Structures are given as structure tokens and as C-alpha cells.
Amino acid sequence: MFRLLHILVFTSLSLVSSAADEENRRHAVFQKKRVDLLLNLQHEISTVAKRYRDGGETTAADILTAASESLSTPLSGFVPPRFIAPDNTPAQRWSAELKRLQTDGAQQMYVLARQTLRAKFPSLAYSMINDVLRIDSDHRLARSVMGHQMFRDPLLRDDRKYAGEWVTAFEARKRSGRAPEILHARFGWIPRAQVERYEGGERLYRGRWVSAEKEQELRRDFSNAWEIQSEHFLVKTNTSLEEGVEISQKLETFHRWLRTHMAGFFDTPAELQRRFEQTGVRFRRTADPMEVHYYATKEEYQKRMVGKIPPNQDTNGLYWDADKTCYFFRNDKVNAKGTVFHEATHQILDLATKSQRVSAARRRQQLLRERTLRPWRICEKSNFWIIEGLACYFESFEIAEDGSCSVGRPDHIRFVGAQHRLLVNSFFVPFRNFMALGHEQFMTHPNRRQFYTQASGVAHFLMSYQEGLYRDDLVQLLSAVYRPTVEEIRREPSIARISGVDFAVLDQQYRDHMQDLQDQVSEQTLNDQ
């Protein structure tokens, strides 16, 4: 059961080399402390389990063993439990011992997460917060960091097995008040009082009840489209209510993943620190939900794209920043899900930082004493790879049936392509030159398709290499191009300068990473045969 954690220990220690700078060494130290804490807690719980097993109490031993083994499962598949464990079971000695170990372990991990954040490793710190919840799912401070609050549904107050649940502030508001709503799996947020009629085949259309078939006919025209509003998105579609709800919930899951795994982009260091140090701090929400249009046919989509893309250009989806909207259509010929996450990446990152770029344009005008105000173009002079590379990377985002998320699967078409370009076709632009490409240089170059492929691979490398060694550096670069400061106005941001690692070293590490991904794909192929 300790195999995975021992691998992590070895990986963490191997990060420290004569070529690594002080930041990499400190990252390795925090990672090792994290792993050691989990290992020690596993060992303590296993020791207690053995004692009960030796005493003939097999039921208690089995529960304790399961609790120990849960700490060795990959964190990527972990989803914090929604419901709070009821405290109405008879007190038993083994459960008290387990609770004490979990409470102490969770608190130690939380303290380590705060120290890690202060050391300026927010991505690693947030991983540790997930560790806290894996140890003790009802840890209030960790829940607060994640933007969760305790909620007790008044309709379940007489249920002795119901102790409450962890929800966002948005969900708590929706489910409270005189006309509480419910998040229905098929129909989205609807008033509880209407659930029975909806499940019976009726639909509320402009203030009157009609049949589901009649509503489908009325909403075929996109001007009458369904509007599914969630916490951060407004999905308009003429396909079906159910499809719109499915897209809406996938986008919310994706948005939630980005906010927790790339927190350093969405919040300033001071805001992140406040979230870790104070209780009751909530995620900020956008003033208006992000709009998404999902059309029933490609022809409808193409009509809406007139004036947005050249007539001879074929696209499967688009984020149009001028109207802040994502456009898609029902498409069975391509990975439509990947397209949705690709364009949503552009939309989420753009709208989260648009006001900062307006301010940057004004500061630039003052610094350069320009007579007219020029809009700030993202990555106009360099680093354009990160815009498309990261969006391509998130095409691999997957949501399992249990709600767990994963991203970066080595055999995804984007990353297999990156492996092939480098290792088979020998196409590679050194990072120093590749990252110096601005918007026009990248998009008008004859090798644009190859650039997209390499950008996908570079995004995977910076997100995943050596247990996420460069993830916070990538987030810092992303922040620099989307929310530029005075420093970025004066000079172009650089991943080599941010990470403290020379471009030549990054080039070689990228080659090693692509080879490692290819080896993983080959091994998986053999195992599947």
C-alpha cells in the first residue's frame, strides 16, 4: 500500500540536483514533508488496525485498514464527500482512535499547506488542502479555503441520518428562502414545487405550462432557446433542456477545477493568503454569468459565425472575446467535449482578467506618454504559445461518473501528436525561440499546425513534469500575460526568468518528458493487448 507514496518520496528527492535552483529545492522539501506526513499517518492507522485484528475484532480492523489504504490512492481521483458524517453512532474505542489520528493528521497537513502557500507554491498548497479533506472531510478551515460552507436543508431536519452537507454559497442561496430550488440532474435549477410537473412531462414556457413536446417545437428556433443558468454560466441552446444542463454542469466542474488547481491565476498572493488565514472567505463570482451558445446544427452555428471568422475557415467552436461568448454546435464527428473545454479555457481566463488589461493599457499609455489609448492585446509580442497550448491541454479534461476529474492523459491525441512531432519527425523549436513568438508570428507562420502541437506538449510538460515542479511557474507566466503589471509593460515575461532555469535545461527536460509520455503509452498498449 506504500508503493505510490514511496515513488513520490523518490521523485521529490530526485528534484534536487546541482542544476536546480533554490526554488526547486524548496519545492522538493515541501513535497517530501507532505509525503512523509501521509506515510506516517498511514503507518499509525495500520498499526491500530493490526492491533484490533490480532484481538479478533475483524470489523474494526477492516474499517481501519480501508481508511489507511485510502491515503495511498491517487489524489486526482479524489472528490470530497458532500455529506457531513452524522454523529449519532454508538461510541467505540476504535472509532475514537481513528478520529483522533485523522483530526491530528488533517491539522498537521493544513499547517503545512499554509507554510507551502507562504513559500509561494499555491498549486502544491491546494493539493495539500485536498489531502486535508481526504484525511478529514469535515475540516472546516480546509472547506472554507475551497469555498464550501455548511448547509442544512430544512426539508431534511427530521432525518436523523442527515447532519448537513458542504455546498457553495451560491447553492446555499438557491436551496433556501420561501421558494427553494433543487439542482435536478435532468432539468438543472428549478423550484422544488415544480419538480413533479417537470418529471411528469410538463414544461413552464413564458409563464404557462405546456407539454415537453410542445416546448421542444417552440424552442427549435434559437431566438426561443432554453436558458440554463448556473453559478458561473448561462447556456443557451435549441437542442434540448437536458443537453443544455449537461453542458452547464460540465462547465461548472471545469471552472471549479481551474479555480482550485490554478488558484494563483485567479487570486493575488494577498487574496490567497487571506483565504488560508481566515474562515468564511468565499470564492468571488463573476458579476454576470459567462454566456455559451450551443446550436442544434452546424448550419445554424456557421450563420452566427459570419463576420467572426473567414468564410473559408472551418471551426468546431469559438470564443469571441468581443461579445464575451462561446459558440458551439452539436457535433458527432469530432471530440465535441474537448472543443467545449478548449474554448471555455479562453473564455474563463479572459473574463477573469479583462479589467486588469484595461488598467494595464492605461498605465502603458502613461509610461510611454502615448496620445491615444491602445487596447491591450494578449501575447502580442511573445508567449502566444501559452494561449493555445493551455487550451489544447484542457481538451483532455475528463469527468468521471463519480465526479472525479483528470487531465493530461498521455494517450490523448494532442499529446500523442506532440510526442510524434518531437521523437519521430524531429520537429522542435527551442524554447527560447518558440516562446518569443507573438500572436501574428505564431498564427501566420507556415508551421502553425506544428506550433499548436508543440504548444500542447509544452503545456503538458509545465503542468506535469516532476509532480508539477513548474506548475506554479506556468501559472505565474499565465498571470503575467493576462493581468500585466508595470514590470510586464516594460519587458516581456519569461518562463526561464520566472523558474530560474535556463532555456537549454528546459529544452532537455521537455525531451525527457515527451519520451516518458511515449513510454507510458507504449506500456499501456502492451498491457491492453
Coil vs helix vs strand at 326: strand
Residue 422 · residue 457 · CB < 8 Å: yes
Q: Is the dihedral of CA 249, 253, 254, 259 positive or negative?
A: positive
Residue 389 · residue 459 · CB < 8 Å: yes
Coil vs helix vs strand at 483: coil
Q: Report the distance separating Cα 93 and Cα 82, nearest Å.
A: 26
Q: Report the distance separating Cα 171 and Cα 252, nearest Å.
A: 12
Work out the burial of residue 311: count CB atoms within 10 Å of its CB; fewer than 13 is exposed, 13-18 middle, 19 or more buried: exposed
Q: Report the distance separating Cα 135 and Cα 104, nearest Å.
A: 10
Give the per-residue pLDDT at 285: 53
Beta strand 202-205 pairing with 165-167:
unpaired
Q: Name which of 258, 256, 262, 269 is nearest 80 in CA terms.
A: 256
Phi/psi at 87 (nearest 5 deg)? Answer: -105, 55
Beta strand 398-399 pairing with 405-406:
antiparallel
Q: Name which of 493, 481, 264 is nearest 360 in CA terms.
A: 481
Cα(first)–Cα(last) distance of the chain, in Å?
A: 27
Q: Name which of 363, 353, 357 is nearest 375 in CA terms.
A: 357
Give the per-residue pLDDT at 276: 84
Strand partners, 326: 292, 319
Other C-beta atoms closer than 10 Å to the C-beta of 151 total 19
List C-alpha distances in Å: 388 to 378, 432, 451, 452, 491. 12, 18, 9, 7, 22
Under CATH, what is the fold of the domain 224-371? Glutaredoxin (3.40.30)
- Give the angle subtended at the CA of 122 by the CAs of 118 and 126, to the nearest 5°: 115
Place of cell 522538493: 28
Q: Report the distance separating Cα 399 and Cα 137, nearest Å.
A: 21
Q: CA dihedral defined by 499, 505, 510, 512, rounded to 10 degrees?
A: -130
Residues in the chain: 529
**Hey, where are the domains in the chain?**
3-85+92-151, 224-371, 377-529
Give the per-residue pLDDT at 9: 37
AA identity, residue 246: E
Q: How many CA atoms lie within 13 A of 25 on its CB side?
A: 6
List C-alpha distances in Å: 18 to 4, 10, 468, 500. 26, 17, 19, 13
AA identity, residue 316: N
Give the per-residue pLDDT at 188: 97
Q: Name which of 466, 463, 449 is nearest 409 in CA terms.
A: 463
Helix (H) or strand (E) holding 202: strand 202-205
Phi/psi at 165 (nearest 5 deg)? Answer: -150, 160
Q: Name which of 43, 85, 51, 50 is nearest 68 in CA terms.
A: 43
Quick one: cell of 170? 451560491
Q: Is the dihedral of CA 70, 75, 76, 80 positive or negative?
A: positive
Q: Is the dihedral of CA 338, 484, 353, 316 positive or negative?
A: negative
Note down pLDDT in tens along the chain; length 529 residues: 444 444 343 343 344 344 346 777 888 899 999 999 999 999 999 999 999 999 999 999 999 999 999 898 777 667 889 999 887 556 688 999 999 999 999 999 999 999 999 998 888 898 899 999 999 999 999 999 998 999 999 888 889 889 999 999 999 999 998 899 999 999 999 999 999 999 999 999 999 999 999 999 999 999 999 999 999 999 999 999 999 999 999 999 999 999 988 988 998 888 888 888 765 545 455 568 999 999 999 999 999 999 898 888 889 999 999 999 999 999 887 777 899 999 999 999 999 999 999 999 999 899 888 999 999 999 999 999 999 999 999 999 999 988 889 999 999 999 999 999 999 999 999 999 999 999 999 999 999 999 999 999 999 999 999 988 999 999 999 999 999 988 888 889 999 999 999 999 999 999 999 999 999 999 988 887 7
Work out the burial of residue 55: count CB atoms within 10 Å of its CB; fewer than 13 is exposed, 13-18 middle, 19 or more buried: exposed
